[in-house]
Structure 1
Amino acid sequence: MKQILVYGDSLSWGIVPDTRQRFEFHQRWPGRLEQLINQDSPRVRIIEDCLNGRRTVLDDPFKPGRNGTDGLQQRIEINTPLELIIIMLGNNDFQSPHIFTAAEAAQGVASLVQTIRKAPIEPGMHIPRILLLCPPPIIQPKGVIADKFRGAEVRWTGFNRALKKIAAETDCDFFDTGTVISASKIDGIHLDLEQHQQLALSIHPIIQGILNC
């Protein structure tokens, strides 16, 4: 059975917009993707490693362990062998305590890619392919997260283009989720149930192509 690691934040963890609740596994996009791939026979296991508030290379000033590089190589070792790693990160780099530009957030993702490729995996095990998913553009933040993401929609502008450039430079696959889904109108950041389902449907053929299954 082939294994895919999803390395993300609250968008992939499946937080219900403007709540502290979580969509169930089959409702959030990694779970739905696993269902779609395995609808004929069990061939792929999706491993979720998604942490609310995770940045690319930045520390959360109030909560520990939100720097995406923290323990990343060990996570690769733990879950090896992996066929594919899907990274969807970047939105939390635009939280109000930080001053990252879109280009700097994309460079943060590039640092994660390099960290993954230097992981000390067991001899003979191959380095997995990496798919970079750009989250949909942040729209005006609302609700309980409004202050935390104040002005994020402005700083996010151009992140998709910057991340696509990073993907080309680092030889990663790339998909701009903003071409098929949008952020929830409820809070401007996270994904509604329909968006989770649509994202899984949209990337399903891409994953099949990568895995040749």
Structure 2
Amino acid sequence: MEQVLIYSDSLTWGIIPNTRERLPFDRRWPGIFENTLLTAGKEVRIIENCLNGRRTVWPDPFKPGRNGAEGLSQVIEMHSPLKLVVLMLGTNDFQCTHGNSAWLSSQGMAKLINIIRQSPIEPGMPVPEILIVAPPRITQPKGPIAEKFRDAEKRFGGLGDELAKVATESSTHFFNAGKVTQSSKVDGIHLDEPHHKILGKALAEFVLENRLV
């Protein structure tokens, strides 16, 4: 059985926009991703490591543990052997506590790739393939999180292109979620349930086509 690690934030954790509730596994995209692969005859196990508010490499001044670079090496070591690591991060890099551009966020992703490849896995275990997933573009933030993401939609622009460059430079795989889905109409940040279904199936098809599992 192949193991796939998904390292992400609230878009993947499955938060229901404008609530603190969570979609069940089979209705958020990692579960749909797993079930689609299983239906295709692949023996896979999806491991979720998704934390609300996680950035690529920046801390949250109000909540601990949101720097995605901290502890990533241990996560890789913990779950090895891994066939694939899916990285879907970047949205929270544009919270109002940071003045980041799309390029800066992409450099945070580049650092995560290096951490994965340098992790102290056991001798003989494979270094996993890496798939970067660019999150859908932030639209106008609404509701309780609007102030937290003030002007984020302006600074987010171009992230997909910058992440694609990082993927090419680092010889990793790349998928732009914004090509198949969009941010929630409710809050402008997260995924609505129908978009989880679309993304999960699209990523499974991408992984199958590229023989990543």
TM-score grouping bracket, smaller chain normalisation: over 0.9
Where in structure 2 are the equivalents of 1:95-106 lying within 5 Å? 95-106=95-106
Q: For residue 38 of structure 1, give the secondary structure of its aligned residue in structure 2.
A: helix
CA contact (8 A) 2:84 2:212 kept: no
Deviation at 1:209, TM superposition (A): 3.1
Amino acid at match of 1:126: P
Which position in structure 2 is the counterpart of 1:31?
Answer: 31
1:66 aligns with 2:66: yes
- Alpha-carbon distance in 1 for matches of 2:190, 2:40: 31
Deviation at 1:212, TM superposition (A): 5.7
Deviation at 1:202, TM superposition (A): 1.0
Name the count of aligned residue pairs. Answer: 213
Which position in structure 2 is the counterpart of 1:87?
Answer: 87
Q: For residue 186 of structure 1, give the secondary structure of its aligned residue in structure 2.
A: coil
Which position in structure 2 is the counterpart of 1:18?
Answer: 18
Which position in structure 2 is the counterpart of 1:133?
Answer: 133
Deviation at 1:70, TM superposition (A): 1.1
List runs of 5+ in structure 2 lacking aligned partners. Answer: none
CA-based RMSD: 1.0
Where in structure 2 are the equivalents of 1:152-167 lying within 5 Å? 152-167=152-167
CA gap of 1:212–1:111, structure 2 versus 1, over 3 A, is closer
Where in structure 2 are the equivalents of 1:176-191 lying within 5 Å? 176-191=176-191
- Alpha-carbon distance in 2 for matches of 1:105, 1:25: 28
Amino acid at match of 2:69: T
List runs of 5+ in structure 1 lacking aligned partners. Answer: none
Q: Name the TM-score, length of structure 2 as normaliser.
A: 0.98
Amino acid at match of 2:165: K
**What percent of counterpart residues are identical?**
51
Q: For residue 70 of structure 2, give the secondary structure of its aligned residue in structure 1.
A: coil
CA contact (8 A) 1:6 1:48 kept: yes
- Alpha-carbon distance in 2 for matches of 1:181, 1:42: 25
Q: Name the TM-score, length of structure 1 as normaliser.
A: 0.98
Q: Deviations over 1:92-127 (max 9, x none)?
A: 000001011100001100000001100000000110
- Alpha-carbon distance in 1 for matches of 2:78, 2:33: 22
Which position in structure 2 is the counterpart of 1:201?
Answer: 201
Structure 1 runs of 4+ aligned residues shifted over 4 Å read none
Q: For residue 49 of structure 1, give the secondary structure of its aligned residue in structure 2.
A: strand
Which position in structure 2 is the counterpart of 1:43?
Answer: 43
Where in structure 2 are the equivalents of 1:135-154 lying within 5 Å? 135-154=135-154
